[in-house]
Structure 1
Amino acid sequence: MTTSRETGGTGTGPRTLAEELRTRPDEDLAGLLHARPDLLNPVPGDLTQLATRAATRASVARALDRLDRFALQTAEALAVAPDPCPYGTLAALMTGDQPDDPAVAAQLPRAVATLRGQALVWGAEDRLRLVRTVRELLAPSAAHPSPTGLGPTVAEATTGMSPGRLQQIITTAGLPGTHDPVSAVASLTALFEDRTRMAALLEGAPSEAVGVLDRLLWGPPYGTVTADPAPHLRWLLDRGLLLSTGPGGVVLPREAALHLRAGRAHRTPEPLAPELAPLAEHSARLVDATAGGQAHIALSTVEDLLAEWETAGPLVLRAGGLSVRDLKRTAAALDTTEAGAAFWTELAYAAGLLASDGDVDERYAPTPAYDEWLRLPAERRWTHLATAWLATTRTPGLVGDRDAKGRTLAALGPGLDRSPAPEVRRRVLDLLAELPPGASVSADTLLARLHWERPPRTTGDDLRTRLARWALEDAEQLGVTSRGALCAHGRALLAGPAEAAALLAPLLPQPLDHVLLQADLTAVAPGPLHRPLAQTLAVLADVESKGGATVYRFTPESVRRALDAGQTAADLTAFLTAHSRTPVPQPLAYLVDDVARRHGHLRVGAASSYLRCDDEAVLAEILADRRSAPLRLRRLAGTVLAAQAAPDILLETLRAMGYAPAAESAEGDVLVTRADVRRTPQRTAPAPVPEGPPIPDSTLLGAAVRAIRAGDLAATAERKPPAEQPATSASGLPRTTSADTLATVQAAVLTGAAVWIGYVNADGAASQRVIAPIRVEGGFVTAYDHTADEVRTYPLHRITGVAELADESA
């Protein structure tokens, strides 16, 4: 890349940005298109189109947003500098009258090269020119003060001022009078730029006037005065140190402010990125082990979420997403906060494990990919989640906020995509990866670095700042970081999932095939359980607490749940005996036997429903119980009661009364009830919403540069003037007769020369091209098209005209 110091110049450099782009090598053009990929959509026809597109307001604003702080400060200095600006003048604006900052002098060429590489600055070293659109975007005004805090120049601020008022100002300032407004403005400007005379002028200023200048010095430079200003304000107004901007408005002119600032455009130039000073250093082994444990918790949480939703997933809101009530229920089920529940649901959704089923009664449910994910080893299941988190543009941190229309953003709903999210997440991890293993930095230090690399548009809490904070929190929850430090498998994740999985595998706890039964009707799982064991145990007992060890509690309801699922007392006892390292406690054995003895003793069927039992005393007890009154029971026989309630209501009421009834079929068999496991149809993970066009690869860049060069050749190649100049169309395309076109093309085939043609395609789009004809036959000309960089065939009747090139070697 050619820097500003390497270009040199004698004052006769390029006159436009397009002319300078023509002098740049292909590598520089490829670098420009890589840095500003929006310029490639579509590929410019020539370098003039490229220069025009590079100066559009939207493209320039996008490019400015991607500058680091010092490059942006350099552009801001050029925006308030003379146009064109010599490199020495720019350096003086950045360092001031006393250049005592070697970092600024060392980094300024790099900043100028960055601006030049992105086509925001052009021209030789002695004539640096800021693209006009950049100057307009950074130009100061009363409504939008300059980022440098500088106001307009004396010439700009005095536009429209009466000659008489100008004469009063220069006379009061001690300058010779002149009736020419241009001379008066030039004289006042020269006074403010003269350090010696300006210092002498300010020596006589009242102290209050100096205070006013100090307040306006670093911006904003605008203020207000009354119709009858105080004496110290009148002193400043009379000498042009404050110039009127309208009724009651004044401004400190740029030249005066620069004198007071000792020539500096910025209060604090920031040529170097803030250092990432480690806040704490932990043992790398401890960080990896802790992150591995958190990765296991992340897997368990996602599994618990999808297991909860595979039988009775929440309904999808009409506008899409999860209701606030369902989010709270999910948070309670996962033993986390609502923000945490939003993160886990969005993570499962981004990984393609969760989606809506699309039914009329639309609900959320696991996808078929969830079953495939469960069959993977634990470390690969984690990398699947982590890579989905890195790439997704969905931002769960926004859940609960309001959109532009005032609607609340819901988890899994629309409006949560933020295009910069993947870039910010990866940059946060990249910065953490620069630290030694086990070292962490404070969030404020990390944000200061990110703000230098991509300065926020406002001083408030901008989106990228929020995204960075959320990235730090999410990385901790997911097990990518621990104690603020990036773990080993987190570092490897930046390179690819395979290496990350290999590093994570030994850190994950091995699943167990046993529990410890205790006499208080609990079972302790000292670690993660094999999935079949965990699933069966979750039916037989309720989870009481989670953590390093999971505690399950056996209750009559949980045992009845297992019996309803088709298990028998013998099955349950055998299961507990096989998977417990301790003997089955007597209270637990009694509980299983007692519930099993009463299970199915009562039978419920449809009458509306009926209730039968071989023990007439039990039926009599139920009839006498006041709680059975809503069922409107009636004895049909000694062992049969009829109910005016549906069978499911009858079952639920009897269980609430403390009985253990079982449903039966029409044939009298006990019905085994299992919750139906739901799966959605095949679904794909949500596609990230890109931030602008994708970054082009080297192949596309090379092809684009060749096409632009070829198009520029066709647009700028010098034509050989024939004896009789051919006519041209309004679009500038040559116009020749069919006979002249055929003769010229045939001659070019014989000589191997390149020619310039006008061509109209089948859609009516006109273009100009430089071609080297190979053969002419059947009304078609086959030629090498320099514009497309390939051999093409053109119908002769679509060629509007042809002209020879003055330099055939072109």
Structure 2
Amino acid sequence: MPDNTPFPSYGDWLTAHDDATLVDLLWRMRAIHGRTFTADVAALRQLDARSLAVLHGLARAGAAHHPVDASSLSDALTSLFDEAGTPATGRPTTAEIPEVLRSLAHRGLAYGPGLHIDNAPTGDDGPDPFPVAIPGDLQGFFTGTTDLPWALVDGYRCPVPTVDLPDVLAELPDRQRRLLDTLATAGGIGHSASLDDPERPLARMIAAGLLDRVDAETARLSPRVGAVIACRVTPDPGGDFTTPEPVPVTDRADGAGVARAVETLRQVTELLTVLGTAPLRPLGGGGVGVREITRVAKATETTTDEVTGTLLLCRHADLIGPGLPVPAPEVDTAGPDGEVWGVTDRGAEFLAAGMARRWALLLSGWSTSPHSPWEMAETGTHLLQDSLDHPTTAALRELTAELVTVLGPTQDAPDDAHDAAVQLWRLRPSLAAKTPTQAVAGVLAEAEALGLRADGQSTSAAVALASDAPADALTTALTGVLPAPVSMLIIQADMTVLAPGLLAPDDEAMLRAIADVESTGMASVWRISPESLKRAAAAGETADRVRGFLAGMAPEIPQGLDYLINDAFRSSGAMTAGTASTILTAPDEATLTSALTMLASLSDGEVRDAALRRIAPTVAVSRTQLSRVVSLLEDAGVRVGVDGDAAATTHGPVLSLVPDPRRPSVSREEVEDQLAGTVEGLRRTRQAVSDAEDPEGTDLPDVETVRDPHQIMATLRSAYDRGTRVEISYVNADGSAVQEWISVVTMSPVSIVGVTESDGVSLRIQPHRIAWVAAPV
């Protein structure tokens, strides 16, 4: 930056960008409900260890109060890494710092004339980012007594190796261990006048590295020790603040991953097929009991453990969910309120899709699931219960694909868990700081079942999922991983059918409709029987279609199978309608096509009311009441015969479905106006500051306003440490709103003592009465 170029305030730097850039910044930071632009802890939660280290270095160098140069930042980082005991191999290089600063600017966490929010260049490209500053409210996040230990480089300073920490803690005298446990549950900060007395417990634990000394009378529980006490993933001493590199994918890992994924997809398909006609009966308090799991295990001829694992994958991907089934299932398993755990609309899409699409649906749903089944044993919670849902688990699964791509192969589980913990701390310290060890073990096991990892190595599927591609792009990527489908079948005289490889989606669907699977994998074996053919006939298939399919896939059809097909499809009926919702069956494909075409001649509203959905060449279903559908069909000129007894059950393989579960989410379109309003408010405020002058003719101070209670206390603490004034809005004892510029004299968790700038009056304010605080930038 040229010497004569003034360094901008944070507000001026922001408003130098156009509205679209600022709206995009707010959306990426998910600052949807804020009224001002202030750096928030939520933004820090998105950073990797390297970026947090540089941000901590900027805070130590004073960048919250004045711009700093490269030398000052380098000195601050060296000091921090020395305190933490970070090895040279775990420190970012000087050449990496500009790229990190540009990344921080892209998130609005660092600013200066050489930095921009949009189109931030990487590597050696672009202008010199120095001098650089950070928003003033970030300072409080990096004080020695912050309750955000993941934000501190020196939080890694405990020198005890991770593998030895549990034994070291177990061998402590009872009094010292009780002190550590108390600190762990009380925020990690302790105060004592005896920290210099080597005979006192606190001093001894400081000497052992279990406590960090903050000042003469303040000690802090080492975050690494706190993680072990709480059974959370723990980084190595000193930490690693470099960026992990992805491990190359091998053909062997890809092959093993595909084989495992194909088997998982088969299990999911079979389970959904069973639940489509016989859903799970929920327990009174939610979830599913052992009796239902046992029933499904018998139906699928698997173990209860296998059913449990597959059910959980279906739950993660929203392929099953609680709700009222439509149409009513063949097997009545409803609870007292009529609800079941059944196949969702998304689950029906899964069953109708090809292999790659099924894999994509399973992966994309699983990667955002908040369900934490590993907590069942500790909490006594039932399988699938909603109380096991946690946002932290969803964030962990969302990062798991990227995590497995940087994990190297290990030979035993303890080393694998340790490597995963270290890499998680490098990728997302904020997440690692609150992730239980059992959660990491759980998601890694799921990643193996889903084909994201095989033999301890990542696969191409993990790389595709980590790229955060849309569902269609993910499907395309997975199609390239799967082997090409085969277009032939080998039919034996005993009515078994061998598929020597994966089948195309339509071929697999047809084979599943007319046969029962006996073994699966990359190749599969099926058996055609009178029962399977009758099931196909009930679903609307015809003898000609079945015979044509088999003739097109196999060199010849055994004579015995030809007779079997003729016998099974000997009878056929007119178009009929069942009840519950509506099921239409036609004698042939053309009849149903003609009926649906005639229905389309009605108004759009009437067509939507009918809501007929074709599920087979001669079968259509609707969630609309039978009488309404029949009436609409007759209005369109279609003659329909209603099946006699009006039994409220499905016929054949028609699935009973429940609606997709609703996960809380906000789209950008929904909040675009809010984001634009925040940007407009920022510009109006900046204009008011620019236009107004104080009596001496100087501009009003450029301020940052905070309203979050944590940020308010951090801002007041920063003002107290720096000796600067702040503007404060609070409610006094009379219930009146007061707004004053004050200097903070003393502060504690229960009261703030300050002196007003205008008349020097002393004030004592309780923190809960404070509405907002504005500090000069």
TM-score (norm 2): 0.49
Bigger relative contact order, structure 1 or 2 (CA pairs below 8 A, ≥6 apart): 2
Determine which structure has more spread, i.e. the larger CA radius of gyration.
1
TM-score (norm 1): 0.47
